[in-house]
Amino acid sequence: MTAVVRVRPGSAGPVVEEEVVGPPGPGKVRLRQTAMGLDRCGLAPPDGGAAFVPGVAAVGEAEAVGAGVKGIRPGDRLAYADLPGAWRERRNVPAGRLVPVPDDIDDATAAAVIRRGLAVHYLLRRLRRVQPGETVLATAAAGGVGRLLCQWAAAVGAEVTGAVGSGEKAGIARANGCVHTVSGGAEDLATEVRASTGGRGVDVAYDAAGGDVFARCLDCLAPMGVAIGFGDVAGPPPPLPLERLEAHSLILARPTLAAWIADPGDLLAASEELFELVGAGRLRPGPVHRFPLGEAGKAVDALLDRRNTEYLALTA
């Protein structure tokens, strides 16, 4: 028997139960998971309100390898992201979803950053490859994705403006690569961003907030600018008429991580670049606050606390 965290309908929070995990089937690897990432998207219940296992990312050691799996041996340190049901001690995982973890990155750090880092990779390096000297807006710049996005954009030579909700978070954004910060709210976003760019606007706006903030990002763009919305903490964005794009030849995108890491080769290449930058110190997630698996409820409370500025991980 092995531990698993579940959220059941009507329960006060996650509870630790036991399950049996058998040998891996063809094409799968049984992972003894040592660290699991905490991410808001991993807390979303399935349609219908059934019991579910939270979490979408984890790191661990290969215990057994199923038939047909190549390039993975028992003892290898591996990670995965964007695979629901992660909060458990053991799991059989499709081999194509696993990537190696370098020796210079500890399990909790890898688990805490892999999903966020892979998201930032496709946003900055594939969907719209940001170039040195370009201007970038990042909303929720002090958040888990926002901090990595600002660091990575600054590392490639972009000038980053971070939109935040308070003076304290403005300091966090500046410490993570933002040259400018704005905190006036959605209604003042465009005015403040244009002031920070000499009236021109930004080349790319990355919006993690959603809601009306995403619509306001269009007003922050320079001609031929790109607005990319990838989050919905403030709710889904409102309907936007295409006519708003025409006047300045703007581009709008609402991508998802799953599409950009569906190919195992793309996933491996992205993870290698991510872990290389973390290992070299060019991306700095900072200390990771660890919670044992049995304290999953406390971990969720910390994740949902808007004052929290740490990356979090469960450990087993």
Residue 259 has pLDDT above 80, yes or no: yes
Strand duo 202-207 + 221-229: pairing: parallel
Confidence (pLDDT) at 234:
82
- Residue 11, pLDDT score: 83
Candidates 3.40.50.12500, 3.90.180.10, 3.20.20.70, 3.30.559.10; CATH matching 2-114+259-315:
3.90.180.10
Q: Which of 272, 258, 273 is nearest to 99 (CA)?
A: 272
pLDDT confidence of residue 205? 98
Average pLDDT of the residues of the chain: 95
Could you give the C-alpha distances from 142 to 105, 118, 262, in angstroms and in order?
Answer: 23, 18, 28
Query: Which homologous superfamily does the CATH classification assign to the domain defined by 132-254?
Result: NAD(P)-binding Rossmann-like Domain (3.40.50.720)
Q: What is the pLDDT of residues 108-139, one digit of tens each?
A: 999 999 999 999 999 999 999 999 999 999 99
* Ranges for all domains in the chain classified under CATH 3.40.50.720: 132-254
Q: List, by residue range, all CATH 3.90.180.10 domains of the chain.
A: 2-114+259-315
Task: Tell the burial category of 28 from Cβ atoms under 10 Å away from its Cβ (0-12, 13-18, 19+).
Answer: buried
Report pLDDT for 274: 98
**DSSP secondary structure letter of residue 7:** B
pLDDT of amino acid 232: 87
Report pLDDT for 237. 86
